[in-house]
């Protein structure tokens, strides 16, 4: 597998792209949008024996010829809405294989691997930041990274930072965000000059195969002549070191760009403000969790500006930050490669109806083949003329007001709610007494905007030491899966969990849920 990957890496790094080439590629894909989806549908949905979509289409009474007609008559988005209405979609829990897929009273047997793209050629495996013990793996194809490199180059150019000294504060494999950003930068002939990693060996040591893969990609890239940086550990509580790098780079070159999580950006901003380091003229590119108003205020308090992009491990990088953003996560939907529709969805955790994003991959390079798949994110999709350079590429649709339901987000790592429910409802009562009704997790922001996961524990329970409770949460996460252990490593370092002796709260319908979301609707 790695030999194949390295063979592809040589071609990937040799053919670096210019902004003009990236613009032309986006224009070409936009022009071929419907034809590409029809090709994917023919070979990947209708023609692939293991495709989970085949059965959905069959139950909906939609054959390939109907699908073609639908796309011709109603356009891609109109067709996707009609299909959603006919039951052609997957919820996130179904996609992950954690909930049976039942349509029209019939159950469809699927495995998470059935969504894998059969056309991938040069890839390596990473874990998503929030997967389960089922061991979902995501492969990243170099062709897909090449497409993402075009998007990112155009985004950097629109924000005027294409030439800025560029650093990452992102973890190495098994998390994909760091190595992917290094390779996307190299493809555009602008690899990051620094790669800071928040993983410190005392907190988390990735499994050997991931350390080897990460090291091999960097070493191979360097041997091929690309100036790829080795990761340097900088733990979360030493954010001031990142702020100082940014200040020095700005003084030397007039600008500096840091790619990190929203929480990472906030940490650097707060550390700079506390130490009196002025970050005026510096720019953060943040992603990994929805940027909230409080977090953005904290980032901007340092004098820096920020823009965002939006995506998820299996869903791809769907959006790049608008230069004239209307809110803190207003992005241009990359309609050359993706389609997103919204559909009303009742959310048990919030007891509300939300406009859930349904994601479709138009391009056959993504790691998964997706058609109307929910990722438990919701928000607005709108066509808007913003007047920024990204609009002139033909990217007229925006996603904004983006929030997650059913996922816990903090420090740029996400954990699916159902994994945490197991810990809250079974692990903690078994160890500390009480029942599932006595524990609840509340996601909220503290006074400076950092995300905290507050464990509400019924006051009548005698749990003894609160620190032991937090230690048990950490230990239980480490047991769940590698991805949950990555989340634990961040949350332990950041002190994300705290305990409050308070009765768990009822939802808006009087029903108590293990995880209570304090998040509001967008708007």
- The one-character DSSP state at 471 is H
Q: Shortest Cβ distance from residue 331 to Zn ion (Å)?
A: 9
Q: Shortest Cβ distance from residue 386 to Zn ion (Å)?
A: 3
Residue 326 near Zn ion by CB under 5 A: no
Q: How many CB atoms lie within 10 A of CB 92?
A: 23
Angle at 215 between CA 210 and CA 220, to 5 degrees: 130
Please list the alpha-helical segments (H only) found in 254-324: 262-275, 293-300
Ordered DSSP codes for 330-342: -EEE-TTTEEEEE
Q: Shortest Cβ distance from residue 332 to Zn ion (Å)?
A: 6
List 162, 388, 436, 458, residue binding Zn ion (CB under 5 A): 388
Cis peptide before 236 (omega within 30 of 0): no
388 versus 421: smaller Cβ distance to Zn ion: 388
226 versus 331: smaller Cβ distance to Zn ion: 331
Q: Extract the tokens encoding 364.
A: 């056959």
List 193, 216, 352, 386, residue binding Zn ion (CB under 5 A): 386
- How many chain residues are in contact with Zn ion, going by CB under 5 A? 4
Q: Which stretch binds Zn ion (CB under 5 A): 101-109, 340-348, 389-397, 503-511?
A: 389-397
Give the residue among 362, 367, 313, 365 at the shortest CA–CA distance from 116: 367
178 versus 321: smaller Cβ distance to Zn ion: 321
Contact predicate 320/155, CB 8 Å: yes
Q: How many CB atoms lie within 10 A of CB 75?
A: 14
Q: Using alpha carbons, list the distances in angstroms from residue 304 to 243, 248, 270, 282.
A: 10, 14, 11, 5
Q: Which stretch binds Zn ion (CB under 5 A): 43-51, 134-142, 383-391, 515-523?
A: 383-391
Subset of residues 223 to 282 that bind Zn ion, contact rule: CB under 5 A: none
155 versus 370: smaller Cβ distance to Zn ion: 155
Distance CA 123, CA 138 (A): 9
249 versus 393: smaller Cβ distance to Zn ion: 393
Q: Shortest Cβ distance from residue 226 to Zn ion (Å)?
A: 31
Q: Extract the tokens encoding 367.
A: 């790691």
Q: Shortest Cβ distance from residue 158 to Zn ion (Å)?
A: 8
Q: Shortest Cβ distance from residue 154 to Zn ion (Å)?
A: 11
- For 20-59, b/e burial (b = at least 16 CB within 10 A) is eebbebbeebeeebeebbbebbeebbbeeeebbbbbbbeb
324 versus 353: smaller Cβ distance to Zn ion: 324
List 242, 249, 304, 322, residue binding Zn ion (CB under 5 A): 322
Q: How many CB atoms lie within 10 A of CB 110?
A: 20
Q: Shortest Cβ distance from residue 285 to Zn ion (Å)?
A: 15
18 versus 392: smaller Cβ distance to Zn ion: 392
Q: Which stretch binds Zn ion (CB under 5 A): 3-11, 182-190, 322-330, 402-410?
A: 322-330
Q: Shortest Cβ distance from residue 155 to Zn ion (Å)?
A: 10
Q: Which stretch binds Zn ion (CB under 5 A): 245-253, 348-356, 388-396, 425-433?
A: 388-396
In the chain, what's the furthest Cα-to-Cα distance?
A: 66
Which residues here bind Zn ion, judged by CB under 5 A?
322, 386, 388, 390
């Amino acid at each position: 597998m790695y030999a194949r990957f390295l063979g592809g890496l040589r071609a990937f790094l040799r053919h670096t792209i210019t902004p003009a080439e990236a613009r032309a590629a986006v224009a070409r894909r936009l022009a071929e949008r419907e034809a590409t989806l029809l090709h994917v549908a023919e070979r990947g949905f209708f023609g692939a024996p293991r495709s989970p979509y085949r059965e959905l289409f069959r139950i909906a009474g939609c054959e390939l010829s109907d699908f073609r007609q639908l796309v011709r008559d109603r356009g891609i988005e109109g067709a996707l809405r009609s299909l959603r209405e006919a039951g052609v979609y997957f919820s996130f829990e179904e996609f992950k294989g954690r909930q049976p897929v039942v349509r029209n009273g019939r159950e469809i047997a699927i495995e998470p691997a059935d969504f894998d793209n059969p056309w991938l050629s040069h890839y390596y495996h990473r874990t998503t930041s929030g997967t389960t013990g089922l061991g979902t793996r995501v492969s990243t194809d170099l062709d897909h990274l090449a497409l993402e490199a075009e998007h990112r180059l155009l985004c950097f150019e629109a924000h005027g930072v294409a030439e800025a000294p560029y650093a990452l504060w992102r973890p190495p494999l098994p998390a994909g965000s760091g190595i992917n950003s290094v390779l996307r930068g190299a493809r555009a002939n602008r690899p990051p000059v620094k790669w800071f990693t928040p993983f410190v060996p005392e907190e988390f040591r990735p499994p050997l195969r991931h350390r080897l893969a990460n090291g091999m990609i960097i070493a191979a890239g360097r041997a091929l002549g690309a100036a790829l940086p080795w990761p340097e550990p900088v733990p979360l509580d030493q954010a001031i070191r990142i702020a100082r790098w940014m200040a020095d780079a700005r003084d030397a070159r007039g600008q500096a760009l840091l790619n990190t999580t929203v929480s990472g950006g906030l940490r650097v901003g707060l550390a700079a403000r506390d130490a009196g380091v002025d970050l005026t003229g510096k720019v953060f590119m943040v992603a990994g969790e929805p940027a909230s108003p409080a977090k953005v205020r904290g980032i901007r308090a340092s004098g820096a500006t920020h823009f965002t992009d939006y995506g998820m491990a299996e869903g791809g990088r769907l959006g790049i930050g608008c230069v004239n953003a209307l809110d803190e996560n207003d992005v241009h939907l990359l309609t050359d490669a993706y389609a997103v529709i919204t559909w009303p969805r009742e959310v048990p955790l919030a007891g509300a109806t939300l406009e859930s994003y349904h994601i479709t991959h138009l391009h056959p390079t993504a790691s998964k083949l997706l058609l109307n798949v929910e990722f438990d994110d919701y928000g607005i999709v709108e066509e808007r003329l913003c007047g920024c350079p990204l609009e002139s590429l033909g990217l007229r649709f925006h996603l904004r007001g983006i929030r997650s339901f059913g996922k816990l987000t903090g420090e740029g790592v996400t954990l699916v709610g159902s994994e945490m429910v197991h810990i809250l409802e079974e692990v903690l009562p078994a160890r500390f007494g009480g029942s599932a009704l006595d524990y609840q997790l509340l996601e909220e922001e503290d006074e400076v905007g950092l995300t905290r996961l507050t464990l509400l524990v019924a006051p009548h329970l005698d749990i003894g030491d609160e620190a032991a409770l937090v230690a048990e949460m950490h230990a239980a996460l480490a047991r769940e899966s590698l991805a949950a252990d990555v989340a634990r490593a961040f949350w332990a370092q950041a002190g994300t969990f705290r305990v409050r002796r308070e009765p768990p709260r009822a939802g808006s319908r009087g029903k108590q849920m293990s995880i209570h979301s304090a998040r509001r609707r967008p708007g």
